[in-house]
Amino acid sequence: MRKIIIDTDTGSDDAVAILMALRDPSVQVLAVTTVCGNVNMEQATVNAFRSIDAAQTYVPPVHKGAYRPLMRDAVTAENVHGRDGMGDIGLPVPDMLPEKEHAVEAILRLVRENPGEVEIVTLGPATNLALAIMKDPEAMKLVKHIYSMGSGGYGMGNVTSVAEFNVFVDAEAYKVMVEFAVPKTLVGIDICWLPGAFFEEEEIEAIRSEGPVSKFAMDCNEALIEYSRRVRGRRKLDLPDPYAMGVALWPEIVTEAHDCYCYVCTDQTPAYGQVIVDHHKFQAVDKSKLPRHAPNARVIKSVDTSLFKQRLRAALKTETVTG
């Protein structure tokens, strides 16, 4: 059974990714760790419990992590996911409590206890991961793989023209994570904007009718759907974190990926938060005259969006295995 830690700034798309992992019988979610991002860390923790409760499977331990980014003030996204990060639809707060152990300690302990086995899916700013790497790099070398929703991938950002939210919030942390030598996969925001990747209004309505978990997944994204209407002129849904979780859970959805050298820009310039993805394919000059950097991440270039949607719908509506 695969062993996964989910690190999340739980907003409404994180919630769907959490449902996917908790409802997958081939993985065990060892812990959910929370971080500030979409909302403050306390609210992200409440939302993690809401998502765990909605999954109707089992309750992994939840550990609270960083209140703020490494170097900068927190930036949140209530304008996108709602004031509570979950669409402001009046979701109840489950009667569940976080562990006393800090997220960073929990990550390090679980990795030490399961050397070479733990896969981390990080769905928010990389602050907790960077702190864990800085605290005990030897332990973090025992991580099997990091899957990250972060960067513009091969495209643009969603906060600035070059920076995607998770990197923009804490680019210093993202740099620590990207430059750390463990196998990792980056899923950029471009993936959930591929042709066919959006969930159109008819699909949203169809999914809503497929059962309580499916309904929860759509309902809690109401603010995100409305955000699309405001910025794109149409009610539709993009799901960055579920695409990242999908790449982790269902590798068969990946149709193109490259091992790349990724450089995270942390200078206080308009490039702050950009991840430059070099896949060594450019031929405009003699490459031997340029500095050569070894790849430090696999970057997803395209996925089979229709297979992803099929898998997601099945995961949300299938009878679950409780554990």
Contacts with Ca ion, residue ranges (CB under 5 A):
9, 14, 123-124, 241
Among 4, 6, 11, 91, binds ligand RIB (CB under 6 A): 11
User: Which of 123, 186, 253, 299 is the binder for ligand RIB (CB under 6 A)?
Assistant: 123
7 scored as a contact of ligand RIB (CB under 6 A): no
Query: Which one among 37, 82, 188, 273 touches ligand RIB, defined by CB under 6 A?
Result: 37
Contacts of 304 (CB under 8 A, 6+ apart): 252, 253, 254, 255
* C-alpha pair distances (Å), 96 with each of 48, 50, 51, 162, 216: 10, 9, 12, 39, 19
* Cβ-Cβ contacts under 8 Å for 246 (sequence gap 6 or more): 20, 253, 303, 308, 311, 312
- Among residue numbers 235 through 294, which ones bind ligand RIB (CB under 6 A)? 240-241
Residue nearer to Ca ion on the CB measure, 15 or 142: 15
Please give the residues from 165 up to 184 whose contact with ligand RIB meets the rule CB under 6 A. Answer: 165-166
Distances (CA, A) of 156 to 152, 165, 275, 280: 5, 11, 10, 19
Give the CA-trace dihedral at 244, 247, 248, 252, to 10 degrees: 170
What is the spatial distance between Cα 103 and Cα 82, in angstroms, rounded to a whole number? 25
Choose the one of Ca ion, ligand RIB, none that binds residue 165, judging by a C-beta under 5 to 8 angstroms depending on kind.
Answer: ligand RIB
Identity of the residue, 17 or 297, whose beta carbon is nearer to Ca ion in the bound complex: 17
Nearer to Ca ion, 119 or 241 (CB): 241
Q: Collect all residues with Cβ–Cβ distance below 8 Å to 66 and sequence separation of at least 6.
A: 35, 36, 41, 103, 104, 127, 128, 131
Q: Distance between CA 8 and CA 106 in Å, rounded?
A: 14
List the single partner that 228 binds among ligand RIB, Ca ion, none, CB under 5 to 8 Å by kind. Answer: none
The least distance separating ligand RIB from the CB of residue 85, rounded to whole angstroms, comes to: 9
- Min separation Cβ 262 and ligand RIB, Å: 16
State the alpha helices, DSSP H only, in the chain. 12-22, 41-55, 78-81, 103-113, 127-135, 137-140, 165-169, 171-179, 201-208, 212-219, 222-232, 240-249, 305-317
Instruction: Give the count of alpha carbons within 13 A of 244, CB side only.
Output: 36
Using CB under 6 A, which residues numbered 126 to 155 contact ligand RIB? 149
Among 3, 5, 6, 9, binds ligand RIB (CB under 6 A): 9
Distance of closest approach, residue 51 Cβ to ligand RIB, in angstroms: 12
Q: Which tokens go with 122?
A: 């990080």
Assess 216 for contact with ligand RIB (CB under 6 A).
no
- Which lies closer to Ca ion via its Cβ, residue 9 or residue 238? 9
Site residues (CB under 6 A) for ligand RIB, limited to 43-102: none
Contacts to ligand RIB by CB under 6 A: 9, 11, 13-14, 37-38, 123-124, 149, 158, 164-166, 189, 240-241
